Amino acid sequence: MSLDYDDEDRLDCIEVINLQGQIYVEGLQVVGLTPHQFIEGMAARGHDVIGPVVGIYAIPELGLRTGDTYDPRTQGTVIDGITLYEEETDPDFLG
């Protein structure tokens, strides 16, 4: 887990990357899901997922971005962590 701070020493974002971790978003355990499973799970909860942008998916209204990694068990990418922001500011994810 890492905490990033802005120039005024305020918490800017929280990042958790741990493929063995349990990270839940609205009851959905996201770590280990494929990007497709993540998108479907969040859509079922009423959220639009933006991406991928350079391999990153985001839900701007939640201030959430995902990271992924290659998983040899699935022979594809799986979500391995999330980053939480107070507010999404990247124009690529704001549409």
Do residues 43 and 62 share a domain? no
What digits encode the pLDDT tens for the residues 44-80?
999 999 999 988 999 999 999 999 989 888 889 999 9
| pLDDT at residue 87, rounded to an integer | 85
Q: Is the pLDDT of residue 86 over 90?
A: no
Do residues 59 and 78 share a domain? yes
Specify burial of residue 23 (Cβ count, 10 A radius: 0-12, 13-18, 19+): middle
| pLDDT at residue 59, rounded to an integer | 95
| pLDDT at residue 20, rounded to an integer | 83
Do residues 59 and 39 share a domain? no
Residue 7: count of CB within 10 angstroms of its CB? 6
Q: Is the pLDDT of residue 95 over 80?
A: no
C-alpha–C-alpha distance, residues 95 and 57, integer Å: 13
Confidence of residue 24 (pLDDT cuts 50, 70, 90): very high
Domain count, the chain: 2
Do residues 55 and 88 share a domain? yes
H or E element in which residue 69 lies: strand 64-71
Residues in contact with 60: Cβ distance below 8 Å, sequence separation at least 6, in sequence order: 50, 88, 93, 94
Can you give the residue range of the structural domain that contains 82? 51-94
